Amino acid sequence: MNSENPAAQAEQNSNLRPDGSKKIVLSGIRSTGNLHLGNYYGALQKFVKMQDDYDSRYFIADLHALTTNPDPKALHESVKQILAEYLAAGLDPDKNILYVQSDIPEISEMYLLMNMHVGIGELMRTASFKDKARKALGITSENDEIEKEIIGNQNNNARVNAGLLTYPTLMAVDILIHHADYVPVGKDQEQHLELTRRFGRRFNSFYGVDYFKEPVNFNFGGEAIKVPGLDGSGKMGKSEGNCIYLIDDEKTLRKKVMRAVTDAGPTEPNSPVSQPVENLFTLMDLVSGKDTTDHFREKYADCSIRYGDLKKQLAEDLLKVTLPIRQRILDIRDNDEYLSKIVKQGAERTREYAAKTLKDVREIMGIRKI
């Protein structure tokens, strides 16, 4: 986009803002269970790689987790677990601000204010809302008119709650309250990021200010990624039940990989690769060297591939990534004192930034003391 504007291009490639301060990176993960490889390659690994060069702030999105009404005890355990997983994957509390979303009351207040500039129509059209609403209502067809289902049926009031609908507002506030430059996320979150930019622009234009900037995803120059599942489906996800978790032990991981969906195998040279097999190649691209993937792709092309061998190799290479992380998770996760100290410090620092933004936003919107 900026290829004809070298100054803009240079600014985009730099980790510094024009005033010389480090660019701000902000991202979070919902506390809805253990982290899987999709979370790791789509988000967490990028967090770790960015921590030396940016002013980076990462949080645990427990308010977002509430949108699917988790068991209170499970929610609390999950917050601790995710924090332990952040640290185990390599996030250094001295290099990053790490905090829990619900520790920052300013976020909740700004969410209320920002909702005044968000349309229910645009929220209802969001892909993730439609997906989650469909799941909550047990609708399997893509074509069902989900809006009619929700509005027309009184029984659906609790199952598709207003928090789920306004999820993108809360996410936008998470980001805008920090004035973040970059938001490292996986492909599935890009629509939310687009909405964040839209809400920020709308706020600016409504009040005639140049207050919020437009945050973008960060992928080290590449494309946003989508890690596929082991069941042949396009996306690894907790609710899809097709995940490899960072905390999986060796036996569990091997078993999952060996059971991954494939097909009957190629019968003619250079046949097109089916989705489930392509998924295994994609996973292999992430964890094994390129040579290994090329080797199996060639075997596929000449019909000599044995999926059992491919899976054994894949499991081996996955374990090299996950087992050291698993060990560190186990070492850290019961150290409550250590964990709570980290998020206490993180909350203090975040509240300073958040309070400043909230003060400005209130002022801009006309909420002033009499």
- Judged by the rule CB under 6 A, the positions of this chain that interact with ligand TYM are 26-30, 38-39, 42-43, 61, 64, 171, 174-175, 183, 185-186, 188-189, 192, 225-227, 235-237
Distance CA 180, CA 188 (A): 19
In whole angstroms, how large is the CA radius of gyration of the chain?
22
Give Cβ neighbours of residue 160 (< 8 Å, ≥ 6 apart). 132, 133, 136, 137, 150
To the nearest whole angstrom, how small is the minimum distance from the Cβ of residue 63 to ligand TYM? 8
Q: How far is the CB of 151 from ligand TYM (least distance, A)?
A: 25
* CA–CA distance, 114 with 106 (Å, rounded to integer): 12
C-alpha dist (Å) from residue 227 to 213, 255, 293, 308: 29, 19, 16, 21
Choose between 39 and 293: whose C-beta lies nearer to ligand TYM. Answer: 39
* Cβ-based nearer residue to ligand TYM, 77 or 144: 77
Whether residue 283 contacts residue 227, with contact meaning beta carbons closer than 8 Å, is answered with yes
Nearer to ligand TYM, 174 or 317 (CB): 174
Least distance in angstroms from the C-beta of 80 to ligand TYM: 16
Closer by beta carbon to ligand TYM, 118 or else 305: 118
Nearest residue by C-beta to ligand TYM?
42
Burial-class residue 194 by CB neighbours within 10 Å (0-12, 13-18, 19+).
middle
Residues 6+ apart with CB under 8 A from 165: 120, 123, 124, 129
Kindly state the smallest distance separating residue 40's Cβ from ligand TYM, in Å. 8
Q: Which CB atom, from 71 or from 268, has the smaller least distance to ligand TYM?
A: 71
* Helix (H/G/I), strand (E/B), else coil: 113: helix
CB of 180 to ligand TYM, least distance (A): 8
Provide the minimum distance between the beta carbon of 30 and ligand TYM in the complex, in angstroms, as a whole number.
Answer: 3
List, in order, residues 6 or more apart from 307 with CB less than 8 Å away.
Answer: 262, 265, 277, 280
Quick one: 133 or 305, whose CB is closer to ligand TYM? 133
Q: Residue 198 or 295: which CB sits closer to ligand TYM?
A: 198
Q: What is the DSSP string of 285-310?
A: HHHS-HHHHHHHHHHHHTT---HHHH
Question: Least distance (Å) from ligand TYM to the CB of residue 278?
Answer: 15
